[in-house]
Structure 1
Amino acid sequence: MKTIDFAIIGGSYAGMAAALQLARARRRVLVVDAGRRRNRFVDAAGGASHGFLTQDGRAPAEIAADAREQLMNYPNVEWLHGVADDARLDTDGALSFKVGMERVRARRLIIATGVQDELPAVPGLADRWGRTVFHCPYCHGYEADAGPIGIIAASALALHQGLMLPDWGPTTLFLNDSYTPSDQDMAAMIRRGTRIEPVPIARIAGEADVVLKDGRTVSMNTLFTQPRVSLTSPIAEQLGCRIEAGPMGPFIHVDESKATSIPHVFACGDAARAAGNVTLAVADGAMAAFAAHRQSMV
């Protein structure tokens, strides 16, 4: 049985940001990480992260590697590779969970496990995820080079992208039998200059070519879609944390200090947001650490 002051489940941007603040408070910190960063697909495609101050244009893996190297310079931080599971509240009020065969007890727990994307079932789309197909215009819209942008509808959130993306380039919304705009929605997108394509998609080809079922091919510089998300870990539910139903999928309910509905349990990053990015994840991680540290002093 390992006992620690602060355990952080999830070692991506939010989790490492939290660990750094607690390490600098000279508290013992354990980071448990399964190595499944949400944006690892960008690395696999040879792409880059954008919009994160001082790190714009760098590979996500490089940013994460630098962060871990800096974090592990603190002797009071331990890194444990593995999947955390079987979380529970012990009778003395402490929290515990298992990593492999070892049970870990923590006085304070920060959940930073992130989410996983569930992509629409369009042939060829998943192969281009993180390379020419994305979900966040702020992260990847600029790289369309003001050229043609396609939106592959997967839900009513396609309207949101249909209104936003014309700022990054001429935009076409492919309804793909997944979203039917109301007259009001249609009028709003037309005012923004978004073209509506009702013919369903057969497949994605080339870099970002949309092949329609009527045989036409519409070439795009970049494609966007609206993946459904799910929590990558059952830890929050095992502990009884309140889960919210967001427009993209479930997320952990937290207050302004990133505290969950369960005492001594905090959550941050994409797992505790309706939508997020690297910048917000890092800020959330720092906030969760500040709150957890302050709570430990009372």
Structure 2
Amino acid sequence: MSNTEYEVIIIGGSYSGLSAAMALGRSLRKTLVIDSGKPCNEQTPHSHNFLTQDGKSPKEIAESAQKQVSEYETVHFHKGKATDAKKSENGFEITIEKGEKFHSKKLIIATGLVDEVPDIKGFKESWGISLIHCPYCHGYEYKGKKTGIIANNDKAVHISSLVKNLTEDITILTQGKANFTEEQMEKLKRNNIQIIEHEISELKHDNGIVESIIFSDQTEMKFEAVYGAFPFHQHSEIPKNLACEFTEFGHIKTDQFQKTNIPGVFVCGDNSSMMRSVSSAVMTGNVAGAMVNMELVTDCF
């Protein structure tokens, strides 16, 4: 094989992509990991709920993972952004933004998601620090704290039910008229959860640590943690360009082995799972790597 031809190309070199690369490296598969170096959790100071890695920074985990994967001589790395992928005679052709082209028999897409954080003062600076998305990932660190939940309807109720076990002081911030059923309102009332419908104009913080929220009527309310249920979109257009199927929520649809509807294309990590955690990403990457190796075995054995 030339230095542009590989058995497997992995687009995305964060936790799931590196996990897939390790599985393939241990099977001596010539693998290329293409990564642009822009993880969605780059602001998050600590990762949790991951055995042996609890409390470490995402960056520290990723650097350690890449160092370990680099020990496998058949795994190679290319820093850059993959902009296109298309079927070729023998597999796939991947194009990088600078124009380089690489070829592989199989393709793993581990490109993650982009959170659509509202363009409100203080939001982007606090996202992943004290403006958080997941009680399992970060809730323990804010147990017993005065907590806001920026969400409405079913999402607000779902997050409230999870956070209620961590703190008794919860306020839902609906950013407009509350949209709850009578049954949901009864649940929220029974659990002493306050609802504020005013639009948010600013999140005051100190280096990402929330201090208070200012509303459109200029009232201000102190908080120590805020959860945000924001929309997201795929980090890469490549799965769409390849005609991968998507779920109603916007994730790439896979079977239990991370295989998409497109032969030879597997996906792993946040782009295909509602479980957005480092441990989940590592697990799905490991499955994808093993299953791609199995396909290669089946193709030639």
Q: Which residue of 2 aligns with 1:204?
A: 203
Q: Which residue of 1 aligns with 2:128?
A: 130
Percent identity reads: 31
Q: Which residue of 1 aligns with 2:34?
A: 32
- Cα distance change, pair 12–211 in 1 and its aligned pair in 2 (3 A): same
Cα distance in 1 between the residues matched to 2:108 and 2:12? 9
After TM superposition, the structure 1 stretch with the greater mean CA deviation from structure 2, 165-174 or 199-208, is: 199-208
Q: Cα deviations across residues 179-201 of structure 1 (Å, max 9, x unaligned)?
A: 42221211122233322223332
For 1:117, give the aligned amino acid: D
Corresponding residue SS for 2:279 = helix
CA contact under 8 A between 1:153 and 1:179: conserved in structure 2? no
For 2:271, give the aligned amino acid: A
TM-score (norm 1): 0.92
CA contact under 8 A between 2:152 and 2:179: conserved in structure 1? no
1:293 aligns with 2:293: yes
After TM superposition, the structure 1 stretch with the greater mean CA deviation from structure 2, 126-135 or 194-203, is: 194-203
Matches within 5 A, 1:33-112: 33-42=35-44, 47-90=45-88, 92-99=89-96, 100-112=98-110
Deviation at 1:265, TM superposition (A): 0.6
CA contact under 8 A between 1:153 and 1:178: conserved in structure 2? no
Cα distance in 2 between the residues matched to 1:208 and 1:226? 19
Q: Cα deviations across residues 62-106 of structure 1 (Å, max 9, x unaligned)?
A: 11000001111111110000111221111x241111122221111
Cα distance in 1 between the residues matched to 2:152 and 2:186? 20
After TM superposition, the structure 1 stretch with the greater mean CA deviation from structure 2, 155-164 or 32-41, is: 155-164
Matches within 5 A, 1:1-298: 2-42=4-44, 47-90=45-88, 92-99=89-96, 100-153=98-151, 156-169=154-167, 170-177=169-176, 179-206=178-205, 207-246=210-249, 250-298=250-298
After TM superposition, the structure 1 stretch with the greater mean CA deviation from structure 2, 158-167 or 193-202, is: 193-202
After TM superposition, the structure 1 stretch with the greater mean CA deviation from structure 2, 81-90 or 170-179, is: 170-179
Cα distance in 2 between the residues matched to 1:62 and 1:124? 26
Cα distance in 1 between the residues matched to 2:130 and 2:274? 24
TM-score (norm 2): 0.92
Segments of 5+ residues of structure 1 without an aligned counterpart are none
Aligned residues: 290
- Cα distance change, pair 179–97 in 1 and its aligned pair in 2 (3 A): farther
Corresponding residue SS for 1:41 = coil
Q: Cα deviations across residues 95-133 of structure 1 (Å, max 9, x unaligned)?
A: 111122221111111100000100134332222112210
Superposition RMSD in Å: 1.6
